[in-house]
Structure 1
């Protein structure tokens, strides 16, 4: 599998990378947060870290750390406008459930633990 980006997300990510001197691409992963357990993190990748998996999508490099990789593999990232807000939207086949506010998710592995 891989990480993919819808056209709006690809355009937005490319603009961020192109406007950041020394950027290698984007960093995509998860961190413990919220009421369900995992929240998405998107940032500029400024260096390649040990254990990173680097996906390439239409020339954009996507760096994913080893802990996040199994939880985000296969995710499609989109970018949407909701009222005055603009945000990345994630379609993750590994998410087994989301919290009510949609800020965090769990996987089947979390449920088994």
Structure 2
């Protein structure tokens, strides 16, 4: 997974505001929503035992081990417009999304694709 500059800047701002210098953002996926899956994000002080650690543009993002194949090749962006500001995942493994944009359907990347990351 990689971050755009906008996403990295926003993660950095949020980590600094948290008051925990060692904090990082943990990203995963969970079952839920009308399309079947949803992205999850939480601040943590350290990665879980099997998390993947991504350091990009000066910030640390921890990828939940159960989500690695779903997030392979994903770009995380932060988008603002007149009515909202949010993290957006540009994920090549996404097969569909619900109308509200809160839920997605994902197919895990094939194991042979791991070498191409």
- Identify whether the pair has TM-score above 0.5, normalized to the shorter chain: yes
Unaligned runs of 5+ in 1: none
Deviations 1:67-110 (A, max 9, x none): 1111112111111113232111110011111112211111235x
Match of 1:14 in 2: 12
Distance of 2:28 and 2:56 partners within structure 1: 16
* Residues 7-16 or 17-26, more deviating: 17-26
Distance of 2:107 and 2:80 partners within structure 1: 30
Match of 1:42 in 2: 41
Unaligned runs of 5+ in 2: 109-117
Are residues 1:85 and 2:74 paired? no
Q: Following TM superposition, by how much is the alpha carbon of 1:13 offset from its aligned partner in structure 2, in angstroms?
A: 0.4
- The normalised TM-score by structure 1 is 0.84
* Number of equivalences: 107
Match of 2:107 in 1: 108
Distance of 2:10 and 2:52 partners within structure 1: 21
Q: Match of 1:47, SS?
A: coil
